[in-house]
Amino acid sequence: MSDLVLFWHRRDLRITDNIGLATARQHSSKVVGVFCLDPNILERDDVAPVRVTYMIGSLQELQQRYVQAGSQLLILRGDPVQAIPHLAEALNAKAVFWNWDVEPYSQTRDRAIIATLKDKGIQCLTHNWDQILHSPDEIRSGSNTPYTVYTPFWKNWSSKPKAKPVETLHNVEGLTEAEQELAQKAGVKALPTAKDLGFFWDADLIIAPGEAAAQAKLAEFTAKAITEYQEQRNFPGVNGTSQLSAALKFGVIGIRTVWQTTLEALENSRSEETTTSIRTWQQELAWREFYQHAMYNFPELADGAYRATFKNFPWETNEEHFQAWCEGKTGYPIVDAAMRQMNESGWMHNRCRMIVASFLTKDLLINPQWGEKYFMQKLIDGDLSANNGGWQWSASSGMDPKPLRIFNPASQSQKFDPDAEYIRQWVPELRSMDTEYLVTGKITPLERHAVGYVKPIVDHQKQQQLFKQRYQQQKAIG
């Protein structure tokens, strides 16, 4: 009989193209999966019910996949620092394997677990970079420092050969009945529902959970939309992006599989426009990786501004303005449509994420950390690195060298929602209004009153001047 190896799933809820899992399989034919519902994460105040619902749905499918492969996925609930070594010891496991993660919490937790497992004489193999195509140590500048600017990062990153998808878990042994009893005594439980955990989400999910749905979504996107991505990706009223972000956040699809699909699409491309579109989508995947590398190399990003000018910025603390922004009641149609899309569906189009983040920080002058947290409370794809990267970029507090980028809600609407389709979809009280009013935002008080739409909470022109002034003052202080 083979030695038991436990594979601990975290942000890799799949058996296909999973580096750590494939490595575990090379070490033993008896591989059992484990997932730990961690109160240090689930009891934070920035967890979105929609995200937990997606995660639990993906775990349900993962359990079925383990059974099909001949084994089991065990569910624990508790602090993994105790729960994982305790289970491994109870089952007399020879080793515990997992994939490494860039987030600061994850690394502190993992180091504690490695120490405990070592004390117990249980091996662990953890340094697999599974969720990114290149490790942060591999992509360094000429002077061997991490990149802080995207373009040179992309040049280096895209020039490197990428690994192919790895083998799917199959034909493994699971726990015997006696071992299953031991597992239960060691804390293994049935998979709860999101509701059991206190998270309520009754609307449909924007992407169905699980590997099969993510693979189908990738196939659907690469069959057509990827070829028009360059043209369509900025229009929130058009279904022009992949909507794979939740699957990528939870590792429900492997990044090597995704990359391989883009290479096949490039091979089949018959026009320059198509090739450009596919390359543009590849660049978005590289943005994801850029932010993960940044979080790994500069973990202090998680705690606030990267740039000195913004470390003590005199942000406003106007709770009423913040609440209006959260609820989509700012009186700026495109901002309100976007916030309502996120509140109602758990997802927001990238163009709109940039617009509302600019509005919160440059028009309302509110600390980007407030917005970052609110996004985490609402997004199905809420992810520390990508969300923090997006907020730091929008607030100009991050690595990006263009500090005074300010989005004008009216010109953004005119360019990217010219027929106001998106605005009408998410702000029903504005449906009957002329497009011209909606995209310019020039709605008279009388018309606002007639449809019951709020008046603008601030004046964009005045606020951007105020922001610039404060920025110059802060810069002078140094």
The footprint of ligand FAD (CB under 6 A) covers: 233, 241-245, 248-249, 284-285, 287-288, 291, 350, 353-354, 357, 375, 379, 381-383, 386-387, 389-391, 394
Smallest gap from Cβ 263 to ligand FAD, in A, equals: 15
Smallest gap from Cβ 147 to ligand FAD, in A, equals: 15
Q: Decide whether 28 or 392 has the Cβ nearer to ligand FAD.
A: 392
Distance of alpha carbon 157 from the chain centroid? 20
CA distance 208 to 403: 38
Q: Decide whether 360 or 420 has the Cβ nearer to ligand FAD.
A: 360
Smallest gap from Cβ 233 to ligand FAD, in A, equals: 6
CA distance 307 to 398: 6
Q: Are 107 and 16 in contact (CB under 8 A)?
A: no
Q: Return the bridge partners of 335, or none.
A: none
Which residues in 152-176 are b (16+ Cβ under 10 Å) and which e?
ebbebbeeeeeeebbebbeebbbbe
Smallest gap from Cβ 302 to ligand FAD, in A, equals: 13
Smallest gap from Cβ 235 to ligand FAD, in A, equals: 12
Q: Decide whether 394 or 464 has the Cβ nearer to ligand FAD.
A: 394
Which residues in 47-78 are b (16+ Cβ under 10 Å) and which e?
bbbbbbbbbbbbbebbbebbeebebbbbbbbb
Q: Decide whether 386 or 420 has the Cβ nearer to ligand FAD.
A: 386
Smallest gap from Cβ 387 to ligand FAD, in A, equals: 3
Report the residue closest to ligand FAD, judged by CB: 390
Smallest gap from Cβ 448 to ligand FAD, in A, equals: 28
Helix (H) or strand (E) holding 34: strand 30-37
Distance of alpha carbon 170 from the chain centroid? 29
Smallest gap from Cβ 399 to ligand FAD, in A, equals: 13
Q: Helix H segments across 18-134? A: 19-27, 39-42, 49-69, 80-90, 104-119
Q: Decide whether 66 or 347 has the Cβ nearer to ligand FAD.
A: 347
Q: Are 50 and 158 in contact (CB under 8 A)?
A: no
Q: Decide whether 175 or 354 has the Cβ nearer to ligand FAD.
A: 354
Q: Decide whether 174 or 251 has the Cβ nearer to ligand FAD.
A: 251
CB within 8 Å of 306: residues ≥ 6 apart: 298, 300, 392, 397, 398, 399
- List the structure tokens of 358: 């600019």
Of the candidates 62, 24, 51, 42, the one whose C-alpha atom is nearest the C-alpha of residue 252 is 62
Q: Decide whether 18 or 243 has the Cβ nearer to ligand FAD.
A: 243
